[in-house]
Amino acid sequence: MRARVLTTITGLTAATLLASGCSLLSSEDDGSDGVGGAADTKVTLVTHESFAIPDELVAEFEKDTGFELTISKLADAGTLTNQLVLTRSKPVGDVVFGVDNTFATRAVDEDVLEAYAPELPSGAEEFELPGDDEDALTPIDTGSVCVNVDTAWFRKQGIPEPQDLGDLTDPAYKDLFVVPAASTSSPGLAFLTATISRYGDDWTGYWEDLVANGAKVVKGWTEAYFEDFTFSGGDRPIVVSYDSSPAFTLNKAGTRSTTRALLDGCFEQVEYAGVLAGEDTNVEGAHAVIDWLLSPEVQAALPPSMYVFPVADGVELPADWAKFTERPAETENLAPARIAEERQGWIEEWNEIISR
């Protein structure tokens, strides 16, 4: 996902940061079905648990379009996609947001979506899903999953920081790395995919070395970042997170970040929206939601609300992002079609390695 929640503490101030857990919006249902509601005035957006857009923008959408928006939240991108497939005969909503490029091809191949080709803002074209000739998915946001290190911890311990993926298997970093599981976490799967892209057929050997070097695998990003990462009070100064994370781990004076992202071995995620196929789908409402997600107002709200980068060019980023966030010049990427074909086999092999 690159849905994400990053709640960190800058100095003594608590700040809510989005990457893979919390949200600014309630997901409680109002008691209506939300699909093809009375006179099609209701539209249901199915999304992941990290979705967060300011309430005032939701209110403006409802006022401008006349649709009542219900937001139904599931878990991460993988669970979201699986649920869409399982309920394709009776869709649980009208429109979906949050399917990422590790699961997107499955959503397209399983025919859970119907075509819609909105006018994309400048810059968004480069994030379109390769091979999506039927315009089933629309890119909304992007960001990179990267290994992050607690630079303050390493400085205090007098230990050089790791610089790339290969360093994580070095005995100097034994028992210092925590990673979310590829089987239960969107960023965990993104990191696994990055290692497969980097090491090819030798990726299993790399993971065997990681495990032998004491890498800790936990269920999700939230556990990894907020329980085990030293910045949050844990005992592991190396964690899988995002390229935007260092913008939120500032010292008390706000003059420097206490963490940094390793720009070697990152995996670029793109999150998409699409119209759910179904006889009762409120197609007009679904189109309105996708257009809204691409609007300048929502694109500008994505960084401070969900801590992801908008797909539209020219959006002004928060000041701290410009100072403390560095995006990788190159990322580890695999074709979505290959990910769809081999994902299950990769996860099974990965599970076997970490279970030994």
Round to whole Å and give the CA distance between 133 and 350: 32
| Tokens 């992801």 belong to residue | 308
- Residue 304, in any domain of the structure: yes
13 and 81 belong to one structural domain? yes
Please give the full DSSP string across 285-331, using - where no structure is assigned. Answer: HHHHHHHHHTSHHHHHHHHHHH--EESSTTPPPPHHHHHH----SS-
- Residue 3, in any domain of the structure: no
Asked if 310 contacts 73 with a C-beta cutoff of 8 angstroms, the reply is no
221 and 303 belong to one structural domain? no
Kindly report which listed range (19-23, 51-55, 257-261, 294-298) carries the lowest average pLDDT score: 19-23
How does pLDDT run across 188-227, given as a tens digit for each residue? 999 999 999 999 999 999 999 999 999 999 988 889 999 9
342 and 285 belong to one structural domain? no
Asked if 107 contacts 81 with a C-beta cutoff of 8 angstroms, the reply is yes
Q: What is the pTM of this model?
A: 0.81
Q: What is the mean pLDDT of residues 122-131?
A: 94
Domain carrying residue 260: 144-267+324-354
- Residue 1, in any domain of the structure: no
48 and 156 belong to one structural domain? no
Residue 124 sits in a domain of what CATH number? 3.40.190.10
CA torsion angle 316 296 101 246 (round to 10): 20
- Residue 154, in any domain of the structure: yes
Q: Between these two residues, 83 and 126, which has the higher pLDDT value?
A: 126
Number of structural domains in the chain: 2
Q: What proportion of the chain, given as a percentage, has pLDDT over 70?
A: 88
Q: Between these two residues, 84 and 350, which has the higher pLDDT value?
A: 350
Round to whole Å and give the CA distance between 262 and 243: 8
Round to whole Å and give the CA distance between 100 and 270: 5
- Residue 249, in any domain of the structure: yes
Q: What is the mean pLDDT of residues 98-125?
A: 91
Round to whole Å and give the CA distance between 7 and 18: 7
- Residue 114, in any domain of the structure: yes
Tokens of 188: 């965990």
184 and 331 belong to one structural domain? yes
Round to whole Å and give the CA distance between 352 and 355: 5
Average pLDDT, the chain: 87
330 and 194 belong to one structural domain? yes
165 and 51 belong to one structural domain? no
Tokens of 48: 């992941």
